[in-house]
Amino acid sequence: MPFHHRGGSRSFIQHGLQVSTENGEMVGQIELFKLVHWKSQDGWINQEARDYYEKMLELQRQPIAEGVVAMTEAEICERVLGQKSGYVKGLGFGPKPISFSKSRPSSSEREIELEHRLVETQLLVETQQQQLETQQDRIDQLEALVQKQNQQHHQQFEEILRHLRSSQGSS
C-alpha cells in the first residue's frame, strides 16, 4: 500500500520550518510525521499511519538501561518506517542514513551513534540557518515598511506646515 500524506507539494523539511517559524520551536521528526499524516478535523489518513505514530511514541517512551544511549528520533523513525536509499518512508528525503558497506571496517556502537547525531546536528543547523534567513527577510521587509511610512508622515507634516503658513499669510 502506498504511504500517502497531507503535506502537498512542500517538502517535509519545509513543513517543519513552517511550524517551527509559527510557534518558535523546532519540530522533531516524530511530531513532523504526525503533522503531515493527521488533521484535527479528519484524524489520521489511515490506520497504518496511526499505528506507525503510536509505535514511534512507544519506542520514545521506553526506559533506557544504564550505559545505553537513547535512540534518536531519526533512529526511531528509521526503525518504525524503514528506509531505502536515503528516503525514510513517511518522512521523505532528508539527511541520508549512514550506509555501511561490506568493505568498511566495523565501527563501535558509540561511533555509529555519534555519526547519527552529527547528521541530525547538521540538519538542525541547516534548518536554523533557513529560519534565520526567513526572519532576516521579514525584518528587512518591516524596516522598508517603516521607512516608507516615515517618509509619508514627513510629507504629510510638510504639507500641513505649508498649508498653515499659507493660511497665516493670507489673514
Q: Which helix or strand (DSSP H or E) is residue 112 part of? A: helix 109-170
Report the range of poorest mean pLDDT among 11-15, 119-123, 162-166: 11-15
Give pLDDT tens digits for 82-110.
766 555 555 554 544 444 444 444 456 77
DSSP 31-66: HHHHHHHEETTTEESSHHHHHHHHHHHHHHHS---T
Give pLDDT tens digits for 35-65.
888 787 888 888 888 898 899 888 888 887 7
Model pLDDT, residue 137: 93
Give pLDDT tens digits for 60-72.
888 877 777 777 8
Query: Which one is predicted more confidently, 75 or 3?
Result: 75
Query: At 80, is the pLDDT very low, low, confident or very high (cuts 50, 70, 90)?
Result: confident
Tracing cell 517618509 back to the chain, one arrives at 151
Beta bridge partners of residue 7, listed in sequence order: none
Question: CA 34 → CA 3, 95, 127, distances in Å?
Answer: 13, 19, 19
Share the mean pLDDT of the chain.
77
Domain ranges of the chain: 12-170
SS3 19: helix
